[in-house]
Structure 1
Amino acid sequence: MRNLITDVAGIKVGHAEDERLASGTTALIFDQQAVAAVDVRGGGPGTRDTELLAPEMTVERIDAITLSGGSAYGLDAGSGVQAWLREHGRGFAIGPVVVPIVPGAIIFDLVNGGDKDWGRFPPYRDLGFQAAQNASDDFKLGTAGAGYGATTVNLKGGLGSASMQTADGVTIGAIVAVNACGSVTVGNSEHFWAAAFEQSGEYGARGMPPSVPPEALVPVMKGSPRANTTIAVVATDAALTTAQAKRVAVMAQNGLSRAIYPIHTPLDGDTVFAVSTGTKPLRDPVYALSEIGALAANVLSRAVARGVFEATALPLAGALPSWKDRFGGTR
């Protein structure tokens, strides 16, 4: 186990970033077409091909998912991933033609100090292609991929991932680009809201504070009304229908609620995809599904904290500090 979403068999992840741009893209490539669903809670989402993930829609499986910086410009990343898949003969077959199905979501990182004067066409299509080319079992956390330019209200945001196995041998993983309107720490302390779910000191082993100070419960949010959004994918090798994957996506949103405060505001576009690679039969259609959804929320909480814990500050004037800049490493 790598403690990454790629512990779910059949998933590879690749990043591409542009340091001058201070932004990047992450591609999740599935070895075989996967069942997927999505749940959107934020008030300002930016998404691609999410309507086709509804259970009543015709296309039942997808080839990849993109997570990207760049706000609406970043939706071009899906076209780059699509081009890579087409070159490899992947996609939804319509007669002699194949159309790769690549849903995606974006964060807003356009005002983080990077040079966004890219000319006529934004660079995200090329970044998407590069991310797909780079897909592998191992990938970087923190200031990487879709989390490269991410921030929270008080610390550098980033790209996080985590995984676990159930007693039945089902693997559950999560990946997230943390660009929250709110905070992942209890006020300005070293303690993560997600401390209760930490495994093996994966984000500093600081635990919860003895008590939560009243000032930590006062919502503190970024001043820019569109510089936000946390986007994530949870995945499992349990065989799920689209409707069951939708329930997992809904339940997994609780992972964001436990790790970020405040969350799902009108200033965010918080979006969670759920993916099933479908290699292991579901033990029970109700109880086992409930367990997977609950544990997916736990894994997503851990991924959020890891994304911020592993981040490094951008080398830009006025950039927010990283968690490690302020509090050091693991105790």
Structure 2
Amino acid sequence: MRNLLTDVPGILVGNAHDAQAATGVTVAVFERSVVASVATLGGAPGDRAVTLLEPEMTRGMIDAVVLSGGSLYGLDAAGGVTAVLCRQGKGAQFGGLTLPVAVQAILFDLTNGGAKEWLTEPVDKRPPYWDLGRDATLAAAQDFALGTVGAGFGATTVTAKGGLGSASTGTRQGFTVGALAAVNAVGSALIGDGPHFWAAPYEQGAEFGGLGWPQKIPPEALAVRFKGQPAPATATTIAMVATDATLTKAECKRLAIMANDGLSKALRPVHAPNDGDTVFAVSTGLAGSGGEPPVLTELGTAAADCLARAVARGVYEATALPYKTAMPDWKTRFGGGRR
């Protein structure tokens, strides 16, 4: 087990970023088309082809999940992803054409200090996201980096640098569950001024420092802190969970809803009006049926716990951007881990 989303058989993950622009793209590619659904609880989402994941919609299978920075500009990334997938022969056949489906969610990282020239220069300055989507897809592999990479490259939280995180676990029925998150939260993954994580009860080993809970949570640690006061909000945590259990699209919908609680376990506040928090849920279908209510309940609980861990790992593994006003990273502020 790598403690990554790719522990779920049939999934590869690739990252690409533009360091000068301080933004990037992460792509989960499936070895064969998979069943998926989604739950969006943030108040200001940005996405592509997400409505087709609702259980009543006809299309049942997808070929990639794209997580991207760049706000609405980042939606170009899925074009680069589908171009590569088409060349690889992935997707459904329609009239002799191969048509891959890449669903996508975006986060807002446009004001993080990076040189985003396409916002101010003439129209021939093209945003980099189509190319980043292509490059991330070509880089897809079982092993991938965490922290300031891919969609997490330009991510922040209100108290520390955000980043890309991942985690995995097994269930009592023998299924594998994994999570992937680009943590650009409107709130904080840390309790008060840190260093403790809200996700501490779910930590495995010392995957994000091994500090556990503080002895006491003081009242001031519960004070609400969030982006946008007074600076512009640069929010949204976008994520996916996956399992090798065989699920229908409706069962994936329930998995996505339950997994969204992982964000509530790891971030405070979450699902805010200017957030676009979105969680995809994927079934690769390479193991037995997971749709019976007791089994699906355990899968959903495991997915929520995994997602909470992935959020904390994204913050723990991040490194600060090289700007004077950049948000400091956890390791610089608190130095390492278990004490």
Q: Same fold (TM over 0.5)?
A: yes
Match of 1:174 in 2: 179
Q: Which stretches of structure 1, 4 residues or more, deviate above 6 A after TM superposition?
A: none
Match of 2:259 in 1: 252
**TM-score normalised by structure 1 residue count:** 0.98
Match of 1:306 in 2: 313
Q: Distance in 2 between matches of 1:44 and 1:216?
A: 27
Q: Does 1:241 align with 2:257?
A: no
Q: Deviation string for 1:179-233 (max 9, x for gaps)?
A: 0010000011200000000001000011111121111211111124541000000
Question: Is the 8 Å Cα contact of residues 23 and 148 (structure 1) preserved in structure 2?
Answer: yes
Q: Residues 283 and 73 (structure 1 numbering): CA distance in 2 closer, same or farther, change over 3 Å? A: closer
Match 2:227 to one of 214, 222, 237: 222
Question: Is the 8 Å Cα contact of residues 10 and 31 (structure 2) preserved in structure 1?
Answer: yes
Q: Residues 158 and 317 (structure 1 numbering): CA distance in 2 closer, same or farther, change over 3 Å? A: same
Q: Does 1:187 align with 2:192?
A: yes
Shift of 1:283: 5.2
Q: Distance in 2 between matches of 1:213 and 1:117?
A: 44
3-state SS of paired residue (1:105): strand
Q: Distance in 2 between matches of 1:297 and 1:92?
A: 31
Q: Deviation string for 1:153-192 (max 9, x for gaps)?
A: 0100000000011122100000000000100000112000
Q: Residues 287 and 12 (structure 1 numbering): CA distance in 2 closer, same or farther, change over 3 Å? A: same
3-state SS of paired residue (1:222): coil
Identity %: 56
Q: Does 1:231 align with 2:238?
A: yes
Shift of 1:305: 0.2
3-state SS of paired residue (2:240): strand
Question: Is the 8 Å Cα contact of residues 71 and 108 (structure 1) preserved in structure 2?
Answer: yes
Q: Does 1:286 align with 2:293?
A: yes
Q: Distance in 2 between matches of 1:298 and 1:282?
A: 21
Question: Is the 8 Å Cα contact of residues 204 and 309 (structure 1) preserved in structure 2?
Answer: yes
Shift of 1:92: 2.0
Give the letter for the 1:11 counterpart: I
Q: Does 1:60 align with 2:60?
A: yes
Q: Deviation string for 1:232-281 (max 9, x for gaps)?
A: 00000000000000000000011000100000000210000000000111
Shift of 1:87: 1.0
Question: Is the 8 Å Cα contact of residues 282 and 289 (structure 1) preserved in structure 2?
Answer: no
3-state SS of paired residue (1:28): strand
Match of 1:323 in 2: 330
Match of 2:214 in 1: 209
Match of 1:77 in 2: 77
Give the letter for the 1:22 counterpart: A
Give the number of aligned pairs: 331
Q: Does 1:199 align with 2:204?
A: yes
Match of 1:35 in 2: 35
Match of 2:148 in 1: 143
Shift of 1:89: 1.6
Question: Is the 8 Å Cα contact of residues 32 and 63 (structure 1) preserved in structure 2?
Answer: yes
Q: Residues 266 and 283 (structure 1 numbering): CA distance in 2 closer, same or farther, change over 3 Å? A: closer
Give the letter for the 2:73 counterpart: Y
3-state SS of paired residue (2:117): coil
Q: Distance in 2 between matches of 1:139 and 1:164?
A: 17
3-state SS of paired residue (2:102): coil
**TM-score normalised by structure 2 residue count:** 0.96
Q: Distance in 1 between matches of 2:290 and 2:221?
A: 41
Give the letter for the 1:50 counterpart: V
Q: Does 1:99 align with 2:99?
A: yes
Q: Distance in 2 between matches of 1:231 and 1:162?
A: 15
Match 1:264 to one of 257, 261, 271: 271
Structure 1: segments with no counterpart, 5+ residues = none
Q: Distance in 2 between matches of 1:154 and 1:106?
A: 21
